Amino acid sequence: MPTDLDTLAREQLSQVLRDHPDPVALDPDEDLVQTYGITSLNKVLFLTSLCKAAEVGLDKFTEDDLARMRTLGDVVDALRPHAPLKG
Amino acid sequence: MNSVPLLELSGPPRARGITHGRALAGRLRGFLDDSLARLGHLADRPVDLDSLRPSIAAHRDVVAAALPDLAEEVDGLAAGVGVDRDAAWLLQLRREVLGYSRVTAGDCTTYASVRGRPVLAQTVDLNGNLDDQIAVLAVSGPRHRSLVLSFAGLLGYLGVNDAGIAIGLNLVLGGEWEPGVPPYLAIRHVLDSADSVDQAVEILCELPLASSRSFMICGEERAVCVESLGSQRSILEDADLAHTNHFLDPDFAERDEINVFAKNSSRRRLEAVREAGIPDASDTASHHRLLSTPPILVPDNGDIRRERTVAAVILRPDLGEIRLWPGDPSTAEGQVHSLQQWSASGSHR
């Protein structure tokens, strides 16, 4: 699941970014706002769609949790404990 | 410790506004000069007063028709501060100007109880770092005297009047926000004129409100919550009531626009109140502990755009009293303001 979650997160982030960059090229340590220019609304949409894709309950996170997710790596780390293991 | 001016406002509406404006002129001019009442720090796009004038005028027209005294008072505020009339109106309309989107987090945790002696208490969660803009207004209104908590020139926000009515509020998100009476002015009108809980509810049901809101009203024997969504109202009544930032009425809940993560926060704060139970009205320490402990306390994370706790209050409708912690209530020193401190003429004893 960790690699699947990482891939899912990259794909979902790419979809909400303006230029839809190659998911593989996204750096998990870069700041989502400063580097990728993600808006507050797109961050909500990104996490919502990622939770659904990763089968993580939307009730797991609050706005404070969202504020602490500054990088793609933060997002993956936050979702990983709640993501069902597959295979 | 935040310095909180206490302003005694009496006389005709314009005079009340002038008194308010003169007393806070320097502070309010500084606030207006700070990226246009800090709206520039909060909005996704640049804001300037000229571009807002049509919207301000549209709201003012409705307020002037519905609440002419308060419209005059806002004009008096402008004269007292020495600023453009529209700037004083902007101070009343900051929340409506910001509008709402699905990223708006919501603010405030409010509860009331009439199980024993009546009490209404709440946190005030606002963005814009408004804890440097707090004032307490001791208002001699046309019908009632009241104590009103104010931020940055607002004529109303929450308070208690000498008819034994306390009123607080929560932001809720839904419906179309249109030119109308800002809920903060509606609250001030309730405090100025309501003799009873029923009258307060009637006022809130009849006024053309500009934006969705939930109002918590606590009289000496009844606690009522009025949820407002567009032109519709839902009335909840119980001996114990609590409200945060999601609609509780099932029909309104279906039209709630709060985003899921903010709603999770809102639910956790509501559950925290319900699990703790509402303390006895006289148990100040327990109220303070509840209001100054996360998740009900929303601490500062350094982001001016984020709603955080900038004050907490306990209102006692039976005593005509506001107990206020200005700023973060976990560290602020409390202060008490009472209507009994003033004679009917509004002069301090």
On whether the pTM is more than 0.85, the answer is yes
Burial class of residue B117, CB neighbours in 10 A (0-12, 13-18, 19+): middle
The SS3 of residue B301 is coil
Work out the pLDDT band at A84, boundaries 50, 70, 90. Answer: confident
Cα B261 to Cα A65: distance, rounded to the nearest angstrom: 8
Mean pLDDT of chain B: 94
Q: Which residue among A41, A58, A62 sits closest to B268, beta carbon to beta carbon?
A: A62
pLDDT at B138 over 90: yes
> Would you call B260 and A63 a contact, using CB atoms and an 8 Å cutoff?
no
Q: List helix spans (H) across chain A.
A: 2-16, 40-53, 63-68, 72-79
DSSP state of B230: T
pLDDT reported for residue A2? 44
Neighbours of B107 (CB within 10 A): 24
- Which token pair is B319? 């005593």
Q: Which residue among B44, B101, B265 sits closest to A63, beta carbon to beta carbon?
A: B265
* A67 lies within 8 A of chain B by CB: yes
**Residue of chain A minimizing CA distance to B299:** A64
Contact between B92 and B185 under an 8 Å Cβ cutoff? The reply is yes
* A61 lies within 8 A of chain B by CB: yes
Contact between B114 and B223 under an 8 Å Cβ cutoff? The reply is yes
* B103 lies within 8 A of chain A by CB: yes
- Which token pair is B293? 């402990």
Nearest alpha-carbon partner for B145 in B345, B329, B348? B345
Report pLDDT digits (tens) over B68-126. Answer: 999 999 999 999 999 999 999 999 999 999 887 666 666 799 999 999 999 999 999 99
pLDDT at B241 over 70: yes
Look at the block and give the residue holding tokens 């200005």: B326
Separation of CA B162 from chain center: 18
From residue B114, give the alpha-carbon distance in Å to each of B190, B279, B316.
20, 11, 11
* A40 lies within 8 A of chain B by CB: yes
Work out the pLDDT band at B301, boundaries 50, 70, 90. Answer: confident
Q: Calculate what percentage of chain B has a pLDDT beyond 90.
A: 89
**Residue of chain B minimizing CA distance to A41:** B103
Contacts of B66 (CB under 8 A, 6+ apart): B181, B207, B208
- Which token pair is B170? 């929560």
Q: In the predicted model, what is the mean pLDDT of residues A25-36?
A: 94
The SS3 of residue B311 is strand
> Would you call B103 and A48 a contact, using CB atoms and an 8 Å cutoff?
no
* A24 lies within 8 A of chain B by CB: no
Report pLDDT digits (tens) over B256-279. Answer: 999 999 999 999 999 999 999 999
Q: Calculate what percentage of chain A has a pLDDT beyond 70.
A: 93
* A46 lies within 8 A of chain B by CB: no
Nearest alpha-carbon partner for B213 in B227, B197, B232? B227
Nearest alpha-carbon partner for B125 in B262, B322, B320? B262
The arrangement of strands across the sheet holding B308-316 comes to: B240-243, B110-113, B119-126, B308-316, B321-326, B335-338
Contact between B326 and B132 under an 8 Å Cβ cutoff? The reply is no
| DSSP per-residue string spanning B103-140 | T------EEEE-SSS-EEEEEEEESS-GGGSEEEEEEE
